[in-house]
Amino acid sequence: MLLLKGGRIVDPSQRLDKVADLLIDGGKIAQIGEIEIAEQVIDVSGKVVLPGLIDMHVHLREPGFEYKEDIESGSRAAAAGGFTAVACMPNTNPVTDNRSVIESILRRADEVGLVRVYPMGALTKGNKGEEMAEMGDMQEGGAVAFSDDAFPIQQSIIMRRVMDYCAMLDVPVVTHCEDTSLSAEGFMNEGLTSSILGLKGIPHEAEEIMVARNIMLARLTGCRLHIQHVSTKGSVELIREAKEAGVKVTCETCPQYFSLTEEAVIGYDTNTKINPPLRTADDVAAIKAGLADGTIDVIATDHAPHAIEEKETEYAIALNGMVGLETAVGLTITELVKAGTLTLAEAVEKMSSAPARVLGVEGGSLAVGAPADVTVLDLDAEWIVDPARFESRSKNTPLGGRKLIGLPVMTVVGGKIVSMKSEVAV
């Protein structure tokens, strides 16, 4: 038994926003109301109690790149960041393109026992974009979706086939939309800034062409399509139109795409090198509008840990990506909720029930009987991002020193406290 006493419970899945006590029993939500028990009481008055947050775009790097992150360090980072579940990407080594890797990830996650880990399988063998991977077998082994993240499928015929196949399996195809012939050798957004810095640019169209193509193929195949890390105004518009036309498409953006612009690249901080690249203020505005009107369903992190030596180098050869698990909530509260773009309930929905729905997994609700996955948030806590204090093995973020509002203070998974910051009294 565990009683979270006196918090403001915000659960968009039940349209709930009230101060109440939340009782957990047997790993499930047992009761919401005025509750008294003798022991195992945590005072969360002044805090916000949310359905456990789910990050559907994380690179846990295991197997193969444990020097960047592994399932244990990534799970700790997730728990510290307020996430009770993560979906991990298949660009591992060996590639997560067969059932044995799926099962080994699930087994390791179980041993670690912190947050729920939902592996995504690769769409194609070896992430090569050529032959279909054994997706049916991986699904039986526990894969929740299939993705071409980091290795976007270029050939339309291959994408068409995997979509047909995933439509049969009734799982979403989760895509990184990038025409790699247009983006080749590009390191940042294309425009005046890239011209001045002398870095080859990646035009918006490199993303938008593939967003448009994949929407058309989703229409052709009837497959559920989920578009990852939307970064441009044009992509938001294409997805909005597709939704209006009834195509089964969902999408996510990441905090970096509503919190930073390409200006951050000036000075050549390699932590700003991410893919898709940081865009312009116009794009940020369009992404916020897309979040507000529901075009963008999900906020995910694209948590992409890299070792220091992979970033302390020339901009051209630095690897793409930034960590995000431990800054996502703060950025979302600061840039969207406090700024008035989203209500708290809307933001929570995009970080809990929406990703649960896309992935077809439990979670995202504090309804009685649901798994007791709970995130407790100090909505008004001001804090400064200090990468040295991250639980993640990697520290690659350009956000060090940024002041944020909103801090996850406790994370509960299946009734068990997996992370707690000292300011919460037991």
Give 153's Cβ-side CA count (13 Å radius). Answer: 31
Query: Which of the stretches 75-83, 126-134, 163-171, 259-267 binds other proteins when contact is defined by CB under 8 A?
Result: 259-267
Task: Work out which of 107, 313, 384, 389 binds other proteins, going by CB under 8 A.
Answer: 313
Query: Which of the stretches 125-133, 195-203, 248-256, 366-374 binds other proteins when contact is defined by CB under 8 A?
Result: 195-203
Q: Do 299 and 254 meet the contact criterion of CB atoms below 8 Å apart?
A: yes
Residue with tokens 């105004």: 233
277-to-15, 74, 77, 207 alpha-carbon distances in Å: 36, 23, 24, 10
- By beta-carbon proximity to other proteins, the closer residue of 160 and 311 is 311
3-state secondary structure of 86: strand
Task: Work out which of 162, 199, 230, 322 binds other proteins, going by CB under 8 A.
Answer: 199
Residue with tokens 């990534």: 74
- By beta-carbon proximity to other proteins, the closer residue of 188 and 215 is 188
Asked if 401 interacts with other proteins (CB under 8 A), we say: no
Residue 36 has which token pair? Answer: 């008294």
- Residue type, position 309, single letter: E
Question: Least Å distance between CB 187 and other proteins?
Answer: 8
- Rounded Cα distance, 214 and 411, in Å: 36
- By beta-carbon proximity to other proteins, the closer residue of 196 and 426 is 196
- By beta-carbon proximity to other proteins, the closer residue of 1 and 317 is 317
- By beta-carbon proximity to other proteins, the closer residue of 39 and 309 is 309
Q: What region, left, alpha or beta, does residue 61 occupy, with left being phi > 0 and alpha being psi -120 to 50 degrees?
A: left
Asked if 262 interacts with other proteins (CB under 8 A), we say: yes
Nearest Cα neighbor of 257 from 288, 226, 234, 227 is 288
Asked if 312 interacts with other proteins (CB under 8 A), we say: yes
Question: Least Å distance between CB 265 and other proteins?
Answer: 9
Type and span of the H or E element at 122: strand 116-122
3-state secondary structure of 158: helix
Asked if 317 interacts with other proteins (CB under 8 A), we say: yes
Convert 303-340 into a string of H (helix), E (strand) and C (coil). ECCCCHHHHCCCCCCCCCCECCCCCHHHHHHHHHHCCC
Query: Which of the stretches 85-93, 95-103, 211-219, 307-315 binds other proteins when contact is defined by CB under 8 A?
Result: 307-315
Asked if 263 interacts with other proteins (CB under 8 A), we say: yes
- Rounded Cα distance, 260 and 64, in Å: 30
Query: Which of the stretches 219-227, 288-296, 311-319, 407-415 binds other proteins when contact is defined by CB under 8 A?
Result: 311-319
Task: Work out which of 201, 290, 305, 371 binds other proteins, going by CB under 8 A.
Answer: 201
Asked if 196 interacts with other proteins (CB under 8 A), we say: yes
Question: Least Å distance between CB 280 and other proteins?
Answer: 5
Nearest Cα neighbor of 332 from 299, 357, 381, 373 is 299
Report the DSSP beta bridge partners of residue 416: 413
Type and span of the H or E element at 167: helix 156-169
Reported in sequence order, the residue ranges of 341-402 that DSSP labels E, i.e. its strands, are 374-384
Task: Work out which of 127, 139, 193, 250 binds other proteins, going by CB under 8 A.
Answer: 193
Question: Least Å distance between CB 314 and other proteins?
Answer: 4
Query: Which of the stretches 140-148, 187-195, 289-297, 298-306 binds other proteins when contact is defined by CB under 8 A?
Result: 187-195
Asked if 181 interacts with other proteins (CB under 8 A), we say: no
- By beta-carbon proximity to other proteins, the closer residue of 269 and 391 is 269
- Rounded Cα distance, 414 and 358, in Å: 21
Question: Least Å distance between CB 204 and other proteins?
Answer: 11
Question: Least Å distance between CB 266 and other proteins?
Answer: 4
Nearest Cα neighbor of 124 from 134, 113, 110, 111 is 134
- Rounded Cα distance, 175 and 225, in Å: 8
Question: Least Å distance between CB 161 and other proteins?
Answer: 30
Task: Work out which of 200, 338, 357, 416 binds other proteins, going by CB under 8 A.
Answer: 200
Which of the residues are catalytic? 302
Q: Phi and psi dihedrals of 190, rounded to 5?
A: -80, 135
- By beta-carbon proximity to other proteins, the closer residue of 266 and 368 is 266
- By beta-carbon proximity to other proteins, the closer residue of 36 and 314 is 314
Asked if 282 interacts with other proteins (CB under 8 A), we say: yes
Residues that bind other proteins (CB under 8 A): 190-201, 203, 261-263, 266-268, 270, 280-282, 309, 312-317
